[in-house]
Amino acid sequence: MRRFEIVLLSGAAVMGGLFAFSVLAGRRIERLVPPQGDLMAVDGRLLHYLDKGAGPPIVLIHGLGGQMGNFTHSLVDRLSRDFRVVAFDNPGSGYTPRRAGSPAGVRAQADALARAIRALNLGRPVVVGHSLGGAIALALALDHPDSVGALALIAPLTHPLRRAPLVFQGLAIRSPLLRRLLYWTVATPGYLMARNWAFRRIFAPETPPPDFGRNGGGLLAMRPGSINAASEDLNAVNEDLVAMTPCYGEIAVPIGILFGRDDKLLNRREQAETIKAAIPSLDLELIPGGHMLPVTCPDATAAFIARMAGKVLPNEKTERIASVQ
């Protein structure tokens, strides 16, 4: 057998082994972190969602590579005592599939969530967006204003990224073919080996809780399909944000931002203070902490959300929660 044939066969065997490992690892992750909610079909598309509590409606939208576990870890139980809380897995994340050929980007995800909000008869809820979810929430307010009563944004992405944060730079692969090749072979083993480093980067300067991989859903982001979807979203986000940013002054609903003073993932001045200049009425609150405030500062986050809810639906419940610091 010629040398190049040996090399070719060896390479194929390695790639096949990596593919098999990635598939099996993805299945094991799903056994460790099973779905928390239910699946709903909206216009032929499936969405995984959790609906808990009763009262004024609140919708939770997670960030890049996240899923509803980022909220259920510490925040949902606090809010569901006094609100109807609906958390979604964004298309391609968690247990919400992304149909082949479906567009990525924040406006496409906002369209899917607007349909779900109508299907669940949520009216005009308080929409909470964390990180990339902040950009999706802003797109929802711009494109579907009848689906938003107020915006409560937590460490939001609001303006185009000059460069992806270090922990996400491995996702910045623009070629769909190369992306699928890498994410179905080397990406899952690589991310699993580096997961502790990745969690520390996302939470910095705070410490990720030991159970974040399971109870916070962090491991679900390391399945091949989730990595591919996150890469698609990252590569599409700037195009949407460039078109959205000149329109922020048109948002008529109350809007607030909670941002950690020590956030190492997103730049507070670029993402929070810039939009404050465009919307002078925006309520900007800075607190000690990093990027993952729904996990690390759930009491302050719940109080902020309740305060924003009080601007739309003032009542004793929102005032009581807002008093918790």
241 token code pair: 């944000």
Alpha carbon of residue 291 to chain centroid = 12
Question: Cα separations (Å) of 22 from 105, 224, 226?
Answer: 25, 7, 12
Tell me the whole-structure pTM to 2 decimals. 0.91
pLDDT beyond 60 at 113: yes
The full set of domains in the chain, from first to last, is: 3-322 (3.40.50.1820)
| Tens-place pLDDT, residues 199-222 | 999 999 999 999 999 999 999 999
Cβ atoms < 10 Å from Cβ of 40:
17
Calculate mean pLDDT across residues 108-115.
94
**Total number of residues shown for the chain:** 325
* DSSP string covering 229-241: HHHHHHHHHHHHH
The H or E element containing residue 14 is helix 3-32
- Percent of the chain's residues with pLDDT above 70: 90
What are all long-range contacts of 166-169, with beta carbons under 8 Å and residues at least 24 apart?
A: 166/201, 167/198, 167/201, 167/202, 167/265, 168/64, 168/65, 168/230, 168/234
| Tens-place pLDDT, residues 139-168 | 999 999 999 999 999 999 999 999 999 999
| Tens-place pLDDT, residues 251-294 | 999 999 999 999 999 999 999 999 999 999 999 999 999 999 99
- State the distance between the two ends of the chain, measured CA to CA, in whole angstroms: 72
Q: What is the pLDDT of residue 15?
A: 58
